Amino acid sequence: MTTSSAISENLVIYQVQTGGVGTGTSSQEIILLYNTSLQDVKIDNWCLQYSAGTNGLTFTKLVCFTPTDPTVETWLSSGGILSAATNEFVSVNPLFTPDYIFSAGLATTSGHVRLVDDVGAEVDRVGWGTARYPEGTASTLPASGQVLSRNLSSLNLDSDVNSTDFSSDSLETTIINGLYEQTVPVDLCLNIEGMQTEIPIGFLSDDSGDCYEDLCANIDGLQTALPEGYELVSGNCNLIPLENRTVIINELYPDAPSYDTGQEFIELYNPNSSTVNLSGYRIQVGPNYTKEYILGDANLQAGGYTSFSDTETGIILPNTTGVSLRLVSPAGNVVSETPVYQNAKDTLSWALVTGQWIYTNQISRNAENRPYLEPAQDEVLGVTTVLAACPAGKYRNPETNRCRTIETAVSSLVPCDEDEYRNPDTNRCRKITTATSSSLTPCPEGQERNPDTNRCRKISTIPGVSDIKVLSDFQDVPSNYRSNGANWVLLGFSVMASISYIIYEWRRELIRKIKLFKLKFSRE
């Protein structure tokens, strides 16, 4: 039975030895291939296969011509010979080095050997003895000590009839080895037009074989974009120093009226002269500071404020037993820390005002903090008046509750004239009295000079008495009248009634005085 002709335009099976001469030489096997074409033939991953004489349909591998390196190609030159032999053959022919080694197993009486290319297509085949599927008819068995050999001098080297193409002949002793390897030109940058056998300077290749300019020459591996946390300086990518500038925890609002959720907040203030990026800053809750909220990428302008609600941070500020909060920079240093507050009340925030932490009723989210404002209650139409803050350069007079200009300089008093002195009560100059009693005009008749005022006054007389001596004869006359205790009761009642009336009339002023006193005492 015959098979269809194999494709044998270039390479053909030249010689096959199924065994040596004599007993115990059956494993001394060798196969030679010959390139009949005028061009070299690439034989990467081509294979020699064997099938028993009774089969001829399924083949097992003898040897494949696999390149030693992915960048290397295997070629057989024009007119060149490729050899494949068993170790048993090499052992009796130590001066011979075959191109490939395969394991012995060719049957002497019948069998099939074929050559297939890298996709498994049959290139050539030879069957001998009683082989079932040779090319055409099977070749006759070689004589003892000889091999199956193709006649290279024939005008038709491959007629696709094994009995015609092969005969018994001696093994080729002069083998022109035509096998060689060639380095494959590899395009190292598939995304760059043209063959790139070398990666351009300043470029690196990725896993897909594409080449890109390496942005960071000082960092191992390909960097097509600036890595996060780095900055580009003269072609090098340098780590940006971690932020460590101070940002202040400025105000806490722990107890909002009625419902706290979403209304509590933590306010931050940037005291620096430039913008601070808050990415990586951490708000931590005392006393163990294990619970924290990490701030995202956001810029806080110089002198600016920002705040975070409890729903954003997940931090719930307790009301009665307060806590301390601290702010840690990305560099790891604590940049701000609050004292522990106690007994927070609704409508009051815990705020940093002029360097001191106090409770204030002027809640100023995302704005400058203001001190506690004591409301002044005026009972006019039931309206409660809240005193506004005094303008710059003024302060509130605690006596009158009015704004008063802050005295920045003491005015210099003009000296009094020589004949004047300064009245300590009015701070005004007053004439000095220099007249003496000798210059006083005598009092008219019937008048005398008052020693206290130096003025003339009428002389007082008792009617019916004309002699001073008579006055000296006056004597005390004992009286039988005694004081009644009820008079003291009436007197005390009158005094209490007067005081009560005064308190009632001045009640508003007194209440305001008491509140101002309390406020002053609490601040101290």
DSSP at 438: G
* Euclidean distance between CA atoms 49 and 134, whole angstroms: 14
pLDDT value for 350: 92
Structure tokens at 153: 């001098």
pLDDT value for 62: 97
pLDDT value for 39: 93
What is the full per-residue pLDDT of the chain (524 aa) written as tens digits?
A: 334 344 446 899 999 999 876 666 889 999 999 999 999 999 999 999 999 999 999 999 999 999 988 889 999 999 999 999 999 999 999 999 999 999 999 999 999 999 999 999 999 999 999 999 999 999 999 998 899 999 988 888 899 999 999 999 999 988 888 999 998 888 889 888 888 888 888 898 888 888 998 888 888 888 888 888 788 888 789 888 888 899 999 999 888 877 778 788 999 999 999 999 999 999 999 888 989 999 999 999 999 999 999 889 888 888 778 889 999 999 899 999 999 988 888 888 999 999 999 999 998 899 999 998 887 665 544 445 556 777 777 767 767 777 777 654 444 567 888 888 777 777 788 777 654 444 577 888 888 888 877 788 887 655 544 454 444 454 555 555 555 566 777 888 888 888 888 888 777 778 877 877 777 666 55
* 315 residue type, one letter: I
Q: Which domains does the chain have, with CATH numbers?
A: 11-183 (2.60.40.1260), 185-240 (no CATH), 252-360 (2.60.40.1260), 385-436 (no CATH)
pLDDT value for 437: 45
pLDDT value for 1: 38
pLDDT value for 479: 52
* 14 residue type, one letter: Y
DSSP per-residue codes, 111-175: EEEEEE-TTS-EEEEEEEET-SS-BSSPBPPPPTT-EEEE-TTSS-S--S-HHHHEEEEPPPSS-
pLDDT value for 249: 94
pLDDT value for 292: 92
First to last CA, the chain: 122
Q: CB atoms < 10 A from the CB of 28, how many? A: 22
Is 0.85 topped by the overall pTM?
no
* Euclidean distance between CA atoms 405 and 187, whole angstroms: 86
**Residue 363 burial (C-beta neighbours within 10 Å; 0-12, 13-18, 19+):** middle
Structure tokens at 365: 């989210």
Structure tokens at 520: 């002053």
List all residues 6 or more positions away from 222 whose beta carbon is below 8 Å from its beta carbon.
204, 205, 206, 212, 214
* Euclidean distance between CA atoms 152 and 167, whole angstroms: 11
* Euclidean distance between CA atoms 465 and 477, whole angstroms: 19
List all residues 6 or more positions away from 520 whose beta carbon is below 8 Å from its beta carbon.
398
What are residue 72's DSSP bridge partners?
Answer: 183
pLDDT value for 381: 47
